[in-house]
Amino acid sequence: MLRTDFTDDAAWELMRAAIRKPVGEFRAYVDFVSDPEFDGVTADRLVSLVPKHPYRSFAFIIDKVALTHPEHPALAVDLQVEPGRAFRVIPSEMWSVENNLSLANMGFEEFADAVGSDGVFRGFS
């Protein structure tokens, strides 16, 4: 979970709390990185910064949109199959994306193809 916008510390803390909040018996297992060196990093730039690794297939970005949008959708970024492909995911569905991608139960494209017309994943219907 890479922070790329440093304009609102309170919003960052709210997002961290929302992402950490369990949903039933599930929760997202993510690390939070908040380093001003990454200010303004985009999905495409992130792909070039992260070395290829067989167990690092995706990442999440907390950017200005995530911090300011009412639903706080983080940006999920594919690092392996279609590097740079991205979609947004609301905090209450972060566990689903993280858990399934980490365990390779589902592919990035399955979530990316299930977003709403606004590009945000809010769960499977």
The one-letter code for the residue type at 62 is I
pLDDT (tens digit per residue) in 26-81: 999 999 999 999 999 999 999 988 877 667 899 999 999 999 999 999 999 999 99
**pLDDT at residue 12, rounded to an integer:** 97
CATH number of the domain to which 38 belongs: 3.40.50
Indicate the number of domains in the chain.
Answer: 1
Domain containing 50 equals: 2-121
Q: Where are the beta strands (DSSP E) in 7-84?
A: 58-62, 74-78
Radius of gyration of the chain (CA): 13
pLDDT (tens digit per residue) in 90-118: 999 999 999 999 999 999 999 999 999 99
